[in-house]
Amino acid sequence: MLARVVEAAGIPTITVTMMPELAQKYRSSRVLGVEFPFGHSFGVVGDAEMQTRTLQAALDLLATATKPETRVDLDTVWPGDPKQAYKDWQPSEPSPIVKHNLEAIRKARRDGASHDS
Amino acid sequence: MTVDSYAFLPRAFRPMYEAAPRFDHAPVWADFGKPLADARIGLLSSAGIFLPAEQEPFDVERERREPTWGDPTLRVIPNDVTQSQIDATHLHINTADLLTDMNVALPIDRLNDLADKNVIGSVSPEHFSVMGFQQEGAEVWRTTTGPEIVARCHAVDIDALILAPA
């Protein structure tokens, strides 16, 4: 959404995202997809080479894209154990909206169960 | 390779994102009309980064009380910021790594490296930080935070902005 506001004001934008499919649904102008854990758009802690490679890919996309909704995916595999990376990016406790939604699902199940009985 | 948009997403969330419709608004487009080596580039992260010595944290206490609300306000991060000057508030990601090395989410040092090598013309004197969970606050992004970012981009002559949703 912010990319759209900025781009509409005449400033080119590039969105570096773990969810390029979602960015495409927003119809973002230039999308660089990265298969990295959330919160780590540019790479691994302390790995300047990897961070630079991601940033350079974003700049290359800026320089070469000629039409809206251009998507390029970065050809970099997250190093290490993906299961551990999946655990590590998540907060120590579920976010308020996740807790809220889980409670709503449980309530619906309880209500459904009471109607069934 | 084709990036799997759901590779790191909890499985329970996947149907919600997959079912999200494609927006029917027309795409917007601004031409990038100059060589990279002449361009001034800025960064935006939604990882909830702020400067504790001079800025309020993002309001996660209100988010705890109102789970469908996320703080939609802006924090401006100067280009000469150092790692020890930043903190982050975000209830949807673990911020430990970016508090060790901000460049994983907001690669200010890497962008300055590329300016030193003349890959880009210059780095914006300021970058932008928001907090990525937006539901009820999203309208404020569109009406207030977005235009504020635009005004600041124009004021410092940014030629392009790299956005990194956290």
CA angle B86, B136, A12 (to 5 degrees): 60
A30: β partners: A70
- Residue A76's pLDDT band (cuts 50, 70, 90): very high
Minimal C-alpha gap between A81 and chain B (Å): 12
B104, A27: Cβ pair inside 8 Å?
Answer: no
**Which single residue is written with the structure tokens 């029917």?**
B24
- Contact flag A35-B110 (C-beta cutoff 8 Å): no
Q: Can you give the residue ranges of every domain in chain A?
A: 2-79, 91-117
pLDDT in the model for residue B34? 94
**Tens of pLDDT along B101-131?**
999 999 999 999 999 999 999 999 999 999 9
| Residue in A8, A15, A42 closest to B28 by CB | A8
Which of A16, A29, A97 comes nearest B164 by C-beta? A16
Cβ of A9 and B153 within 8 Å?
yes
Dihedral of CA atoms A101, A102, A107, A113 in degrees, nearest 10, equals 130
Q: Which helix (H) or strand (E) holds A71?
A: strand A70-73
pLDDT number for residue A99: 82
| B27·A19 Cβ contact <8 A | no
Write b or e for each residue in A40-66: b if 16 or more Cβ atoms lie within 10 A of its Cβ, otherwise e. Answer: bbbbbbebbebbbbbbebbbebbeebe
Has residue A106 got a pLDDT over 90? no
Residue of A34, A38, A85 lying closest to B166 (CB–CB): A38
Q: Are B114 and B98 in contact (CB under 8 A)?
A: no
Q: What is the CA radius of gyration of chain B?
A: 17
Query: What's the CA gap between B151 and B112, in Å, rounded?
Result: 23
Tell whether B76 lies on the interface with A, counting CB pairs under 8 A: no
What is the pTM assigned to this prediction?
A: 0.93
Which sequence spans correspond to the domains of chain B?
A: 36-164
**Contacts across the A-B interface (CB distance below 8 Å):** 235
